[in-house]
Amino acid sequence: MDFKEKLQFFSIFYEERAPIPSILEQHISNLRKPRQVSSPNAKHIQEMVPVARSEQDGIDVLEEVLLLAPASKGGMPCVERAAKPNLSPYFSPLATSFVAGRVRLETSQPDHCFGYLPSKKARPARLKASFTIEEENIMNRFTLTTELYFPFFTARWKSPAQEQTHH
């Protein structure tokens, strides 16, 4: 069974060759146009290329300039980053077919996930938590990951299918 068939058991459908909306196509072509002046982040990345001796070094350079700075690094208050968080399978789609009952849908694991800092992690680090203990006690029943509340941004440096494509 191929991956697309497997997803259909969970009512996940997608078109591989669907046309791209014109506004998105225009945005993509604007991004691909050569620029006269590089951004400060692009210049920094270019300067750091000789130092990056491995794939992980390259990821570390990109992470520094492309991802948010969490509260623990003097960045956005109440926001933190978790590396390789385990996401709860509770929020995965349910199987819609008898056959799918025996087929497992893998739970994604992003390389980085950004969300709101829980008080149990904020207090020891002397950072501000986003929610009160009472609010957290209610939310704890519905968390996608135990690391953060309401993850709003994930980053994955390689696609799970190709293992060599960077996003």
Quick one: pLDDT band at residue 115, thresholds 50, 70, 90?
very high
Reported confidence tier of residue 165, pLDDT bands at 50, 70, 90: very low
Mean pLDDT, residues 64-80 taken together? 90
- The reply to whether 124 falls in a domain is yes
- Please give the residue range of the domain that contains residue 117: 69-92+106-160
**Residue 119: inside a domain, yes or no?**
yes
Contact status, residue 150 vs residue 113, Cβ threshold 8 Å = no
Residue pair 102/5 in contact (Cβ under 8 Å)? The answer is no
Position 167 confidence tier, pLDDT thresholds 50, 70, 90: very low
- Tell me how many domains the chain contains: 1
Q: What is the token pair recorded at 22?
A: 């014109």
DSSP 24-68: HHHHHHHHHS--SS--HHHHHHHHHGGG--SHHHHHHHHHHHHSP
pLDDT tens by residue, 86-105: 888 888 887 776 665 677 77
pLDDT for residue 50 is more than 80:
yes
Decide if 97 is inside a domain: no
Q: Is the pLDDT of residue 55 over 50?
A: yes
